[in-house]
Amino acid sequence: MLELLELVQRKNWEALILNIGIDKISFFTSDLYLPMDDLAKARKEDPNKYLIGIGQSKQAVIRNSQDAVTLAANAAWQILDEKERQSIDLILFGTESGVDNSKSAAVYLQSLLGINAQASGVELKQACFGLTAGIQLAMGHIALHPKSRVLLVGADIARYGIKTAGEPTQGGGAVAMIMSANPRILKINPESAHLTKDIMDFWRPLYRSEALVDGHYSSQEFIDFFQSTFQQYSAKTGQGLNDFAALIFHLPYTKMGLKALRSVLEEAPDDQIAEGLLARFEDSRQLNREVGNLYTGSLYLSLLSLLQARSLREGDQIGLFSYGSGAEGEFYTGEVVQGYERMLDTSVSEQLRQRKPVSVTEYEEIYRSFMAAQPSDFVTDYQNDPARFALKGQKDQQRQYVERKD
Ligand code: HMG
């Protein structure tokens, strides 16, 4: 009798772990952007180097009144209602732009969003991989607690420095997701392939607000990590290119994903499969082209971009490649759920269209106006920031946040 009960429970559990994934998704970035052709002209580069060679049209210009916490809050509140605020039991905050060396950004977020105090929350750091680490942790958490609703956010500001080679690959913003059982957007398959290597391709010492990077080396490692994890996944599961409707990537700049995809397309069984993957890749980079690197959120902005194109059907398999410098890479897969279109926020493209362009001089002024890591009081330009949540500044060495209520 006991054995039978255990079997039934085990069978249910197996069914459950095949039915966990992304139930809601939202995105936020600044209301300001820099046109990449203006930046190219100012840096005496051919605009096509940025537009085609790097694959970026616009770059989000993050105000000094936004940080990882407010970017995350502005993304997440769009998918929260009172019921959700009470149901969430775990907050996983992926970021490499943390605002404190001790206190987790998840605690600030919980308070700003009014999420119930019984929910726990932590910050996850491994460069751009932090949010993907959160996805894998959420899978295990939901398998143990099937009624759980997990809030995940990836929020960052990508800063390399004015007139550096990394400058055209800056950007910023946040993606927020709710993961649960019976997801309404994407079921995540439990199998994944992972690779970790201690390398110095991109890093940010504690005293710096801008990253240090060995750009060409990092781009080569990105491709090697993709090939290696994709091969590992294929060996584990027997799945190859023909099993996927789309392969999507962390997009530090959109050409990076294209280069990685092209590096495996020779193995495609026929031209139709290769062309299909290239067409879906184009869908998946549209939003990223307009924003730049989000670090932790980039892969998930690309997912949103792909889903918004509405070219996928129920049951289609998507392969997702996550890369975080330093470095960790992971290839995992998901299955598109029937009716996913109904769960997508239709205003994202409109929000991007409504942004205001800034000149290169204005962008440089905003860039230099950021609050440095220092003890004195500071007031940001929060009064000019139309976002719901903003950083007001620092008082007595404590960050001050404001919410503009409707
Ligand atoms: P660069 O040296 O200025 O550019 O830096 P380039 O000379 O290599 O040119 C870029 C591309 O433009 C090349 O194409 C050129 O041929 C092309 P590719 O050979 O790569 O296919 N090009 C043109 N195309 C059309 N018309 C033209 C023209 N001129 C040139 N007229 C670099 C580029 C990406 C290295 C730099 O911007 C950089 O260092 N960026 C930051 C690092 C980065 O994004 N690395 C990506 C992998 S690491 C990663 O993804 C992790 C990360 O997100 C951080 C994290 O994990 O936290 C960064």
Q: Is the pLDDT of residue 128 over 70?
A: yes
**Residue bearing the CA closest to ligand 1, atom 53:** 252
Both structure tokens of 210:
């801008």
Per the CB < 8 A criterion, the answer to whether 342 and 270 are in contact is no
Q: How far is CA 155 from CA 39, 217, 263, 327, 362, in A?
A: 24, 25, 29, 19, 23
pLDDT single digits (tens) 316-328 = 999 999 999 999 9
Q: How does the average pLDDT of the chain come out, rounded?
A: 96
**Annotated binding-site residue numbers for (3S)-3-hydroxy-3-methylglutaryl-CoA:** 46, 160, 259, 293
Q: Is the pLDDT of residue 96 over 50?
A: yes
Atom of ligand 1 nearest to the CA of 326: 56
Task: Report residues whose beta carbon is within 6 angstroms of any ligand 1 atom.
Answer: 46, 48-49, 52-54, 96, 127-128, 165-166, 168-169, 201-202, 213, 215-216, 218-219, 222, 250, 252-253, 255-256, 259, 293, 295, 323-325
Q: Give percent of the chain above pLDDT 70.
A: 97
pLDDT single digits (tens) 264-279 = 999 999 999 999 999 9
User: Of 296, 74, 304, 79, whose CA–CA distance to 180 is shortest?
Assistant: 79
Q: Give percent of the chain above pLDDT 90.
A: 93
**Residue bearing the CA closest to ligand 1, atom 30:** 49
Q: How confident is the model at residue 6 (pLDDT cuts 50, 70, 90)?
A: low
* Domains of the chain as residue ranges with CATH: 1-185+345-403 (3.40.47.10), 186-342 (3.40.47.10)
User: What is the model's pLDDT at position 300?
Assistant: 98
Tell me the CB-side half-sphere exposure of residue 380, using CA atoms within 13 A. 25
- Name residues whose C-beta falls within 8 Å of residue 381's C-beta, 6 or more positions apart in sequence: 63, 64, 65, 369
Of 54, 199, 323, the residue with max ligand 1 atoms within 8 A of its CB, to mutate for a pocket test, comes to 54
Lowest mean pLDDT, pick from 206-210, 377-381, 385-389, 396-400:
206-210
3-state class (DSSP) for residue 212: strand
**Residue bearing the CA closest to ligand 1, atom 34:** 215
**Residue bearing the CA closest to ligand 1, atom 24:** 53
* Average confidence (pLDDT) over 48-74: 98
Q: How confident is the model at residue 5 (pLDDT cuts 50, 70, 90)?
A: low
Higher pLDDT: 17 or 159? It is: 159
User: What is the model's pLDDT at position 313?
Assistant: 96
Q: Measure the CA–CA gap between 235 and 308, rounded to whole angstroms.
A: 31
96 is annotated as an active-site residue: yes
314 Cα: distance to centroid of ligand 1 (angstroms): 35
Q: How confident is the model at residue 2 (pLDDT cuts 50, 70, 90)?
A: very low
**Annotated binding-site residue numbers:** 46, 160, 259, 293
190 Cα: distance to centroid of ligand 1 (angstroms): 33
Atom of ligand 1 nearest to the CA of 46: 31
Q: How confident is the model at residue 10 (pLDDT cuts 50, 70, 90)?
A: low
Q: How confident is the model at residue 17 (pLDDT cuts 50, 70, 90)?
A: confident
141 is annotated as an active-site residue: no
CA 105 to chain centre: 16
Both structure tokens of 20:
């966990």
* Average confidence (pLDDT) over 171-194: 98
Residue at 307: amino acid letter: L
Q: How confident is the model at residue 9 (pLDDT cuts 50, 70, 90)?
A: low
Q: Is the pLDDT of residue 393 over 80?
A: yes
User: What is the model's pLDDT at position 13?
Assistant: 75
User: What is the model's pLDDT at position 1?
Assistant: 45
Higher pLDDT: 94 or 13? It is: 94
Strand partners, 121: 91
**Residue bearing the CA closest to ligand 1, atom 44:** 252
142 Cα: distance to centroid of ligand 1 (angstroms): 38
Lowest mean pLDDT, pick from 14-28, 131-145, 207-221:
14-28
Of 258, 300, 325, 328, the residue with max ligand 1 atoms within 8 A of its CB, to mutate for a pocket test, comes to 325
Residue at 386: amino acid letter: P
> Out of 96, 123, 167, 328, which one is annotated catalytic?
96
User: What is the model's pLDDT at position 4?
Assistant: 46
251 Cα: distance to centroid of ligand 1 (angstroms): 11
* Average confidence (pLDDT) over 193-209: 96
362 is annotated as an active-site residue: no
> Out of 194, 250, 290, 335, which one is annotated catalytic?
250
- Any idea which residue has 């000094």 for tokens? 64
Higher pLDDT: 200 or 4? It is: 200
